[in-house]
């Protein structure tokens, strides 16, 4: 999908929530969604980072975004319900939901894996997207063709050594995506897919390979077309798919 050419106003009138919008890929994607007309709800745990993205969007003339600070590690079902209530009050619907946030805490052999860290990673990378999707279903149903995106990583498919709970959680999230897609295919117009961004010069890849510089990796801007395709109207009817953003 890297050769997809979106129209200038592709995402006009769409309200899209991006988790982990303050840094890495989420930051780049959030800015680009706004550039194509979306009203972006920036969700993340570090307010300072969210405010920076907010300012960047305002400075480039995009629709006024919203900030929703939330720590997905400790969030309860009530926190998700409160978020849904607030989005309903402010916007009345949700056209797009991008599960981008992830907890990655470095490379560790399974033999030495810290149990508490394992639970934290699974909480953020699997339980949170499940709970968030469940809480926001009503708002997604109010949009004419809502799009939900999970974020995949080949570390899970290949069982890449030392990627531990992160890889396990990404595999589970992929199953979760297919379950949602199959269950929502009948009686709703909500499509659910995954994007595998591939390794890019931003975010956790830079932390996983500290000996390499950002310019040794693919520019994160190069993966944006796939996000635009799945969040815009051109992907209507596409569901249950894993799209590789660098193909
Ligand atoms: N970078 C790559 O090359 C690559 C490759 C394959 C897949 N991916 C996937 O792409 C997505 C983005 O990755 P990235 O590299 O941009 O990662 P990143 O730089 O580590 O950013 C992850 C984002 O998630 C947020 N986050 C982490 N824990 C959170 C929590 N408990 N509550 C709320 N937000 C939380 C972070 O917030 P803070 O900024 O506050 O920490 C950050 O904004 C992830 O799903 C990742 O698995 C990335």
Question: Region 95-99: what's the mean pLDDT?
Answer: 98
Residue 217 near residue 198 (C-beta atoms within 8 A)? no
**Residue 1: per-residue pLDDT:** 81
**By percentage, how much of the chain surpasses pLDDT 70?**
100
- For range 6-28, the mean pLDDT: 97
Q: Domain residues of the chain, as ranges? A: 15-244
Model pTM?
Answer: 0.98
**Annotated active-site positions, please?**
166
Ligand 1 centre distance from Cα of residue 23 (Å)? 7
Q: How far is Cα 74 from Cα 106, in angstroms, rounded to an integer?
A: 21
Distance CA 226, CA 220 (A): 12
Residue 203: per-residue pLDDT: 94
Task: Confirm or reject: Cβ of 199 under 6 Å from ligand 1.
Answer: yes
Ligand 1 near 218 CB (within 6 A): no
Distance (Å, whole) CA 151 – CA 161: 20
- For the chain, the first-to-last Cα distance in angstroms comes to 6
In this structure, which residue's CA is closest to atom 5 in ligand 1?
199
- Please give the Cα distance from 239 to 126 (Å, whole number): 19
Atom of ligand 1 nearest to the CA of 155: 6
pLDDT at residue 28 is higher than 90: yes
* Residue of 17, 18, 19, 20 to test ligand 1 pocket, by largest number of atoms within 8 Å of CB: 20
CA distances 49 to 29, 131, 174, Å, are 14, 24, 28
Sign of CA dihedral 143, 10, 3, 17: negative
Residue 129 CA to residue 219 CA, distance in Å, equals 26
Residue 141 has a pLDDT of 98
CA distances from 171 to 25, 89, 123, 152, 178 (A): 19, 34, 14, 8, 11
Give me the percent of the chain exceeding a pLDDT of 90: 99
| Atom 43, ligand 1: residue with shortest CA distance | 20
pLDDT(11) > 90: yes
Residue pLDDT, tens place only, 63-85? 999 999 999 999 999 999 999 99
Residues 206-212 have a mean pLDDT of: 94
Nearest to 235, CA basis, from 145, 137, 140: 145
Which ligand 1 atom lies nearest to the CA of residue 99? Answer: 45
Decide if domain 15-244 falls under CATH 3.40.50.720: yes
Q: For Cα atoms 213, 217, 221, give the angle at the middle one, nearest 5 degrees.
A: 115
Which pLDDT belongs to residue 157?
94
**What pLDDT is stored for residue 198 in this prediction?**
97
What is the model's pLDDT at position 211? 94
Q: Which of 228, 194, 198, 191 is nearest to 31 (CA)?
A: 228
Cβ contacts of 82 within 8 Å, gap of 6 or more: none
Residue 104 Cβ contacting ligand 1 at under 6 Å: yes
* Mean pLDDT of the residues in the chain: 97
CA of 20 to the centre of ligand 1 (A): 6
Would the CB of 200 count as within 6 Å of ligand 1?
yes
Position 2 scores a pLDDT of 86
Length of the chain: 247
| pLDDT digit string, tens, across residues 158-201 | 999 999 999 999 999 999 999 999 999 999 999 999 999 999 99
Residue 174, H or E segment: helix 164-184
């Amino acid at each position: 999908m890297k050769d997809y050419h979106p129209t200038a106003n592709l995402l006009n009138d769409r309200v899209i929530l991006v988790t982990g919008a303050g840094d890495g890929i989420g930051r780049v994607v959030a800015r680009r969604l706004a550039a194509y007309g979306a009203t972006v709800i920036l969700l993340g745990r570090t307010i300072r980072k969210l405010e920076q993205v907010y300012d960047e969007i305002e400075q480039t003339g995009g629709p006024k975004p919203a900030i929703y600070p939330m720590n997905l590690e400790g969030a309860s079902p009530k926190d998700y319900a409160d978020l849904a209530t607030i989005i309903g009050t402010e916007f009345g619907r949700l056209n797009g939901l991008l599960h981008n946030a992830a907890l990655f805490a470095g490379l560790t052999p399974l033999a030495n894996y810290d149990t508490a860290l394992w639970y934290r990673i699974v909480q953020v990378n699997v339980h949170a997207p499940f709970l968030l999707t469940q809480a926001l279903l009503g708002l997604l149903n109010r949009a004419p063709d809502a799009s939900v995106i999970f974020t995949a990583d080949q570390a899970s498919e290949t069982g890449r050594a030392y990627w531990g709970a992160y890889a396990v959680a990404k595999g589970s999230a992929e199953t979760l995506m297919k379950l949602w897609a199959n269950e929502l295919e009948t009686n709703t117009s909500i499509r659910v897919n995954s994007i595998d961004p591939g390794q890019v010069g931003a975010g956790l890849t830079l932390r996983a390979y500290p000996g390499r510089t950002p310019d040794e990796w693919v520019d994160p801007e190069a993966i944006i077309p796939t996000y635009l395709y799945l969040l815009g109207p051109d992907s209507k009817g596409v569901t249950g798919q894993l799209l590789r953003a660098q193909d």
